[in-house]
Amino acid sequence: MTSSDSDSEDTLPAGFTRREAHVNGTTLSYLTGGEGPPLVLLHGWPQTALAWRHVLTPLARLGFTVLAPDLRGLGRSARATSGYDKDTQADDLRALLESLRLRRDDVRLVGHDIGGMVAFAYARRFPDTVERLVLAELAVPGLGLEQAMDVARGGRWHFGLFMTPQVPELLLSGHEHAFFTWWFAHLAGAPDAIGEADVTAVTHAYSGTESLRCGFAHYRTLLVDGQVNRTWYESGGRLAMPVLAIGGELGAGTRLADAVRPAVPGVTAAVVPRTGHFLAEESPAEFLGLLSPFLSDTGKPQKESLP
């Protein structure tokens, strides 16, 4: 576990450093800062841990050891050849906490987009260790994602393309910046909500066939991820810890909470006004206003007992 010299001090939020951990057969790069019980932030696609940069320092000041890893294969993490199913990535996170000798029975998770799918898998697999769970702007495999990706019924087109082996790499390689400029403009609440510098940083992180392959590998396991979650749910699985489901008013809204409620009876819905898909970057103050009381145990009751 070593500090990286590839980030200059002025590119990281105050009090945060970048480190590496060799865990679960791969190498994860992560940002860390603060002291206290672990708070893990899991980013989405096409992003890296720096998607959380506006909220890292305020969350650390709440009294947490904040960890924001680059997900398997993304950002500065190793370009893994496999292991992109969400259960394996939950194991990545478990192994990261173990390597840092942090408490594993008092974990708070915040997951956005693909990172939310990993967070859900972690909470499902290790429910007694998760104190609070926040899901932001996603559809959970097996609990709403299949409807969201059904193009014939108005679902989003990109899932099928990204899940197809080799094709999206062939189409996007060499055109990454143009595509990501379009992507952020269409999913954000306003076309210019994500600035050129941020688009350029994402382009750098995802450029080239191998980096693109790793990004799309997160999509290529979604049918398996959904089957795992559905099997768990159909066999009586439920999440009992407090769960906050956040959507942007111009994004998922309350659809996420509505979709997961059968498996998460105590879920609380929240909406960030005038915001699209990228909550932590478009509206960090409003996003923090929802996260802070919930993560600090002042926003919801304690874990419920489920029958």
Token pair listed for 55: 């909220």
Active site residue 219: yes
Choose among 36, 201, 179, 190: nearest CA to 107: 36
Active site residue 113: yes
| Catalytic residue (one of 43, 112, 218, 277) | 277
Instruction: Measure Cα distances from 138 to 25, 28, 44, 245 in Å.
Output: 27, 23, 9, 9
Contact assessment for residue 60 and residue 66, using Cβ atoms and an 8 Å cutoff:
yes
Q: What are phi and psi of 112, to 5 degrees?
A: -110, 135
Contact assessment for residue 256 and residue 24, using Cβ atoms and an 8 Å cutoff:
no
3-state secondary structure 150-166: CHHHCCCCHHHHHHCCC
Would you tell me how many other CB atoms lie within 10 Å of the CB of residue 101?
7
Tokens 């932030």 -> residue? 41
d(CA 207, CA 202): 8
SS3 at position 272: strand
Would you say the C-alpha torsion 246, 295, 306, 42 has a positive or negative sign?
A: positive
Contact assessment for residue 119 and residue 42, using Cβ atoms and an 8 Å cutoff:
yes
| Catalytic residue (one of 87, 219, 225, 233) | 219
Active site residue 158: no
| Catalytic residue (one of 113, 198, 218, 233) | 113
Q: Which residues are catalytic?
A: 113, 219, 277
